[in-house]
């Protein structure tokens, strides 16, 4: 049990990084949506739903001029997306 907690802590500490929001955030969201559309075309089930939800959130932010907030993102998830 201790090993599991320790492993989870290490993943959170070293597997995450601060996401910096640039001044071109709208263009970045548009580009991200294009990439996410490609993923939607290739995936099914929950993974497809995840990307469709991301697209909808990004479109809402763009339409309502809501700059994304900063926060931690999981580098592991981004790496897996590139592999897929």
User: For 28-55, how does the pLDDT look when each residue is reduced to its tens digit (9 = 90+)?
Assistant: 999 999 999 999 999 999 999 999 999 9
pLDDT for position 57: 94
Which pLDDT belongs to residue 35? Answer: 95
Q: What is the mean pLDDT of residues 54-71?
A: 89
Rounded to two decimals, the pTM is 0.61
User: Which is nearest to 25 in space by CA: 53, 74, 66?
Assistant: 66
Query: Half-sphere exposure of residue 26, counting CA atoms within 13 Å on the CB side?
Result: 6
Please give the Cα distance from 52 to 13 (Å, whole number): 28
Which residues have C-beta within 8 Å of that of residue 16, sequence separation ≥ 6? 72, 73, 74, 75
Calculate the dihedral angle through the C-alpha atoms of 49, 50, 51, 53, rounding to the nearest 10 degrees.
80
């Amino acid at each position: 049990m201790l090993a599991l907690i320790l492993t989870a802590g290490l993943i959170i500490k070293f597997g995450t990084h601060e996401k910096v929001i640039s001044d071109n955030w709208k263009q970045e969201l548009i580009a991200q949506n294009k990439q996410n559309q490609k993923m939607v075309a290739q995936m099914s089930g929950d993974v497809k739903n995840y990307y469709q939800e991301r697209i909808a959130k990004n479109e809402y932010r763009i339409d309502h001029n809501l700059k994304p907030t900063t926060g931690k993102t999981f580098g592991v998830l981004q790496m897996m997306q590139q592999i897929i």
